[in-house]
A and B are shown apart, each in its own frame.
Chain A
């Protein structure tokens, strides 16, 4: 079956612009995570969805970042008024359900560059 997919693969934008990053999880996976990976670092948690609701958004750095998952499958991470410090790889992961035993399956990420 298909894995987690993310679009676009790369996104270049200018400071101050708005961007949307899309994640298509594995079919049937109820849990969805967004992480951000800066250069030379490990991924950092941003937000977690269980179904349609954002169950934990404690990792979002500020109110310029927002994510939705309206139908419980595809998710979109939205960044307003982008800043150069937002440049990073944004990773999405999904798992069959909630729980430490559940493997998180990652997508290939979207590399965002803010000029």
Chain B
């Protein structure tokens, strides 16, 4: 079974500063996908960034980037120039082809607060 662990239940960061959210996962699969989703109080999950396991280059999306360490099974999210709108729950998630459905397996989430 695949598992995703987020060890930081809550974090805070000053506006304009940089913060890193941690995620580790456990799998025996070799071809899989990793995601960070953001869930604001409105409840709607929004994709922040995606990484394909076969790609060695770390994904980046504007102020968001990941540090993907395949051997260590680690997938951290770095948010640069934090903005008030980044305040939300952040979920790390995993999917792979073997399940047939590419269902997402989520961690428990990290609550991020951006302080003015």
Contact = CB atoms under 8 A, between A and B. Distances in A.
Contacts of A23: none
Contacts, number: 69
Nearest to A4: B44
A82 to B, nearest CB: 20
Interface stretch (B45-53, B57-65, B71-79): B45-53
B6 to A, nearest CB: 8
Interface in A55-77: 55-56, 59
Interface string A90-101: 010100001111
Given A89-B43, A100-B96, A33 B33 contact: no
Interface residues of B, number: 28
A55 B43 contact: no
Nearest to B45: A106
B109 A42 contact: yes
Contacts of A43: 45, 91, 104, 106
A14 interface: no
Place the interface of chain A in its size category: 20 to 34
B97 A106 contact: no
Contacts of B43: 89, 91, 108-109, 111
Contact of A108 (B44, B95, B107): B44
B107 to A, nearest CB: 5
B101 A98 contact: yes
Interface in B4-57: 4, 32-33, 37, 42-47, 50, 52
11 contacts: A33-B103, A43-B91, A56-B99, A56-B100, A91-B45, A100-B96, A100-B97, A102-B102, A103-B50, A106-B46, A108-B42
Interface of B: 4, 32-33, 37, 42-47, 50, 52, 91, 93, 95-97, 99-109
Interface of A: 31, 33, 35, 40-45, 48, 50, 55-56, 59, 89, 91, 93, 98-109, 111
- A-B CB proximity, top 10 nearest: A42-B106, A48-B101, A106-B45, A100-B33, A56-B101, A45-B103, A109-B43, A108-B44, A42-B91, A108-B43
